[in-house]
Amino acid sequence: MRRVLGIAGLLALSTGCLTFKAEDPPAGGGSGDVSSPDESDPDGDGLSNAEEDSRGTDPFNPDSDGDGVSDGDEVDAGSDPLVAGGSGGGGGSTGGGDTGPVDSDGDGLSDAVEARLGTDPDDADSDDDGLQDGAENTQGTDPLNDDTDGGGVNDFDELSSGTNPWYGGDDVVPDPDAGLPDRDGDGLPDSQEAAHGCDPDDPDSDGDRLSDGAEVKVFGSDPTEVDTDGDGLDDDDEVVLFGTDPALADSDGGGVTDDVELDDGTDPRWPGDDGGVIGAPGPDADHDGLSDDDERHLGTNPQDPDSDHDGLRDRAEVDIGTDPLSQDTDRDGLSDGAEALRWNSDPVDDDTDGDGLTDGVEVQAHNTNPLLADTDGDNLTDAAEVRVHGTRPTDPDTDGGGENDGDEILHGHNPNWAGDDI
């Protein structure tokens, strides 16, 4: 029977092997609403700013003491969110001090955290890979998938052998056909070549520079077809040049075929740029609407719902086309959040109304409307009033003489002197 490795055992195991750094374990509650952050609970841990202030916790960190349990969960369980160690430990809470929330299976994750992750609070090793759920959450592997990287070797065995459990390319899977006759040395036994339509004397029956054995056993492609998935890309080019799946025309499943993505300059291995639709499945530690895989591809922080702290969640920025790593995508002096949530101006256009003044200059310097080219309706654009005529763009009759600024200019009058108004 396989022993189940807990956090202490995982640390000991790492001593003599390669150690792979993963993100911190998910913590906090949060909301799936991506339209705007919850101003009363920006870190999504279930405690309002007022509650955080009264308890001394950090309103922008869902796990102030860094023990893997959100501040809200600690408060609900009666433990101290400022004292690490409240994540449970062998056998659950015993009462008194910061003993932590209930941990029924003693795997290092409280029952509340397990409910959020989807793991079994009564089974210390939900995916039966030999690693306790708490150890997987700490190490960053998936406690619901015994083979996180899908490479064919489970997480425990990868950590034991020193390979990377997040990268399937280094998984060494024993070949059940080893030792069988294979006269062309392509990795496909002679007895199986005919079944796949291959030539037992030719290691590459279709001439695509991938051996028959590799096509059948590794890539799942057809060893008799140069372009198995019919996407216009040869199988060997998909494997060697593009890193796409030679057996799938749309490797990332985003709705656009690999050849079209390459022509368009998008990434055929990531669904997030297929027509602007985010689609990578998987955990969303910060509950911002982007999966952790999407965030790693974008370069955003999977532990922070608003990576650039501009007031818009990362998913909302992707949806509207702003840069989730820049507070001011169009560099007009207004943050993306201010443009989208307060002024309704375009955060990817520095001059939304096209009047010649940037949105930031309109709002901050002249108090004009960044959505109206002529804020005061006097038939002069805001920029013309500021830069050409020296009139006030928020007053249709700058000199108060009774004739609006636009008419004065039309009639050759001075809009800054009331004496010539008609």
Q: Which residue has the higher pLDDT, 144 or 109?
A: 144
Q: Residue 207 pLDDT > 90, yes or no?
A: yes
Per-residue confidence (pLDDT) for residue 357, from 0 to 100: 95
Q: Tell me what the mean pLDDT of segment 386-401 comes to.
A: 94
- The pLDDT confidence band at residue 393, using thresholds 50, 70 and 90, is very high
Q: Which residue has the higher pLDDT, 83 or 386?
A: 386
Q: Report the range of poorest mean pLDDT among 153-157, 321-325, 385-389.
A: 153-157
Per-residue confidence (pLDDT) for residue 368, from 0 to 100: 95
Helix ranges, 56-109 (H): 71-77
Count of C-beta atoms within a 10 Å radius of residue 363: 21
Written as six digits, the tokens of 350 are 């520095």
| Tens-place pLDDT, residues 234-284 | 999 988 888 889 999 999 888 889 998 888 777 888 777 776 555 556 788
Per-residue confidence (pLDDT) for residue 170, from 0 to 100: 74
- The pLDDT confidence band at residue 108, using thresholds 50, 70 and 90, is confident
Name residue, tokens 């809470």.
Answer: 93
| Tens-place pLDDT, residues 159-199 | 777 778 887 777 776 777 778 898 988 888 999 999 999 99
Q: Tell me what the mean pLDDT of segment 322-335 comes to.
A: 94
Per-residue confidence (pLDDT) for residue 343, from 0 to 100: 92
8 A C-beta contact, residue 333 and residue 319: no
Helix (H, G, I), strand (E, B) or coil at 131: strand
Written as six digits, the tokens of 234 are 């040869």
Q: Which residue has the higher pLDDT, 115 or 139?
A: 115
Per-residue confidence (pLDDT) for residue 226, from 0 to 100: 95
Per-residue confidence (pLDDT) for residue 37, from 0 to 100: 41
Got the DSSP string for 252-315? T-SSS-HHHHHHHT--TT-GGGBTTB----S--TT-SSS-HHHHHHHT--TT-SSTT-SSS-HH
Question: If you average pLDDT over every residue of the chain, what do you get?
Answer: 81
| Tens-place pLDDT, residues 223-242 | 999 999 999 999 999 888 88
Q: Which residue has the higher pLDDT, 30 or 291?
A: 291
Name residue, tokens 């501040």.
Answer: 71
In sequence order, the β-bridge partners of residue 5 are 131
Name residue, tokens 């939304």.
Answer: 352
Per-residue confidence (pLDDT) for residue 14, from 0 to 100: 42
Name residue, tokens 């056993």.
Answer: 217
Per-residue confidence (pLDDT) for residue 56, from 0 to 100: 82
**Can you tell me the distance from the alpha carbon of 308 to that of 150, in angstroms, rounded to the nearest whole number?**
32
The single-letter code of the amino acid at 86 is G
Helix ranges, 16-90 (H): 49-55, 71-77
Helix (H, G, I), strand (E, B) or coil at 5: strand
Backbone angles phi, psi at 52, to 5 degrees: -65, -40
Per-residue confidence (pLDDT) for residue 100, from 0 to 100: 54
| Tens-place pLDDT, residues 84-106 | 654 433 334 333 444 557 888 88
Query: If DSSP states are collapsed to H, E and C, what string results for 213-265?
Result: HHHHHHHCCCCCCCCCCCCCCCHHHHHHHHCCCCCCCCCCCCCCCHHHHHHHC
Per-residue confidence (pLDDT) for residue 5, from 0 to 100: 53
Backbone angles phi, psi at 294, to 5 degrees: -60, -45
Q: Which helix (H) or strand (E) holds 405?
A: helix 405-410
In 3D space, the residue among 93, 70, 90 whose CA is nearest the CA of residue 82 turns out to be 70
Q: Residue 52 pLDDT > 60, yes or no?
A: yes
Per-residue confidence (pLDDT) for residue 10, from 0 to 100: 46
| Tens-place pLDDT, residues 344-366 | 999 999 999 999 999 999 999 99
**Can you tell me the distance from the alpha carbon of 295 to that of 317, in angstroms, rounded to the nearest whole number?**
12
DSSP 194: G
Global pTM value: 0.40
**Can you tell me the distance from the alpha carbon of 324 to that of 371, in angstroms, rounded to the nearest whole number?**
23
